[in-house]
């Protein structure tokens, strides 16, 4: 029963035992999208890096909800080996996936994401642009020129996020030091 499989995946995520990772990876191949979403969420909650290859593969799922859950799980795991796949997810057809990818890249904080996040500041969706601005501040000072440019964005929402990001960059305790 699909609902039992969903509940089982969710429960395994709450329990958080890494022994559940192989079963959850298998559930990413379930024929029901809701089960795949719950499996990805559970893998993110457990945070075991052995799930990264399966979650990256889930980025090719036909359902946007599964792709978004996989991106969020990769961000929750926080391992830099997911950065290239998350950068690629910034070009996904789903704005929800692109927004989640920007947020995940900010969580990971790897400077190699800066060019892609700067490009995401030009996304047609304001939520994606806002998430990109917020991610750039988490990465640090190399993003300043792009954030200054975002102050001229057509969306008040994005301009505010860029201004807040620049304000945080001015506080040395609020932002990690740039990686050289």
Return phi, psi of residue 63, to 5°. -105, 130
Write down the pLDDT at residue 148: 83
Q: Please, which residues have CB within 8 angstroms of residue 173's CB and are 6 or more apart in sequence?
A: none
Write down the pLDDT at residue 136: 87
Tokens linked to 54: 């399966």
R_g over Cα of the chain: 17
Query: pTM surpassing 0.85?
Result: no
Distance CA 20, CA 173 (A): 38
For residue 151, give the DSSP letter. Answer: T
First to last CA, the chain: 51
Write down the pLDDT at residue 155: 84
Where helices occur in 16-113 by DSSP H, the ranges are 21-27, 33-46, 52-58, 64-77, 83-89, 95-108
Write down the pLDDT at residue 145: 78
pLDDT tens, position by position, for the chain (180 residues)? 999 999 999 999 999 999 999 999 999 999 999 999 999 999 999 999 999 999 999 999 999 999 999 999 999 999 999 999 999 999 999 999 999 999 999 999 999 999 999 999 889 999 999 999 889 888 875 667 777 888 888 888 888 888 887 887 765 544 444 444
∠ Cα 142 93 129 (to 5°): 35
Tokens linked to 31: 């024929």
């Amino acid at each position: 029963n699909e609902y039992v499989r969903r509940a089982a995946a969710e429960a395994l995520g709450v329990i958080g035992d890494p022994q559940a990772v192989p079963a959850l990876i298998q559930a990413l191949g379930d024929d029901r999208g809701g089960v795949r979403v719950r499996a990805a969420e559970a893998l993110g909650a457990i945070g075991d890096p052995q799930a990264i290859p399966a979650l990256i593969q889930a980025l090719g799922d036909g359902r946007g909800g599964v792709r978004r859950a996989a991106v969020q799980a990769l961000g929750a795991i926080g391992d830099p080996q997911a950065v290239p796949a998350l950068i690629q997810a910034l070009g996904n057809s789903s704005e929800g996936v692109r927004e989640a990818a920007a947020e995940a890249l900010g969580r990971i904080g790897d400077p190699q994401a800066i060019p892609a996040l700067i490009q995401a500041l030009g996304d047609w969706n304001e939520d994606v642009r806002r998430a990109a601005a917020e991610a750039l501040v988490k990465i640090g000072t190399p993003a300043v020129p792009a954030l200054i440019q975002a102050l001229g964005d057509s969306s008040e929402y994005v301009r505010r996020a860029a201004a807040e990001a620049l304000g945080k960059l001015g506080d040395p305790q609020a932002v990690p030091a740039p990686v050289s």
